[in-house]
Structure 1
Amino acid sequence: MSQISVSAEGFVVDAELLGSAFGVAAETIPEEMRNGDITSRSETGVGEDAGKSRLTFYREGRALRLVVNAKGEILSRSSFPVSKGRRPGQ
């Protein structure tokens, strides 16, 4: 399986990718997402960014941002600190 797959319902990101980015075991990722300890946001590119999507995951003051193409291939990846005020749903 590739790290990100795309379907009509959206994106599926491999737990290994998220676990590695946040320094936790991949097995904990589904429960942390269900509990709201990890939240996410996806945005679809327009104009010169058409065909790209930006996926951002938030956990404990850190964010992982992935820019992917329509096939789910990662074009860029960044990680950065965020304040609670910038985290969606808070």
Structure 2
Amino acid sequence: MPAIRHDDNRFEVDAAMIADGFGIDAAQVAAFMRDGRITSRCEEGIEADAGRWRLTFYLGDRALRLTVDAGGQVLSRARFAAPRRGGAQAG
């Protein structure tokens, strides 16, 4: 599977890519998403950013942001501190 797949405004991101961004094991990603430790947000670009999406993943007080095109190609990647969001506490 490609690292990021895009179908009908739905994205699938390989767990290894998320794990790498947070420095955790890929096997932990699904469990952390199920229990709310990892949450996400998807934003579609408009005007000059049309055809791009920001996929942001949150774990505790950290965020991983991937900016991707319609084909799922990563255009930029950033990691940064972010305020804690609702949901389970990071482990």
Task: Give the structure-2-normalised TM-score.
Answer: 0.90
Count of paired positions: 87
Query: Which runs of structure 2 are paired with 1:32-51 in the superposition (5 Å)?
Result: 32-51=32-51
Provide the residue aligned with 2:66 in structure 1. 66
Amino acid at match of 1:29: V
* Identical pairs, percent: 46
Alignment correspondent of 2:19? 19
Matched, 1:8 2:8: yes
Q: Which runs of 5+ in 2 are unaligned?
A: none
Name structure 1 gaps, 5 residues minimum. Answer: none
Runs of 4+ residues over 4 Å off in structure 1: none
As a proportion of its length, which structure holds more helix? 1
The normalised TM-score by structure 1 is: 0.91
CA RMSD of aligned residues (A): 1.2
Aligned equivalents of 1:9 and 1:65: distance in 2?
17
The one-letter code sitting in structure 1 at the alignment partner of 2:60 is: E
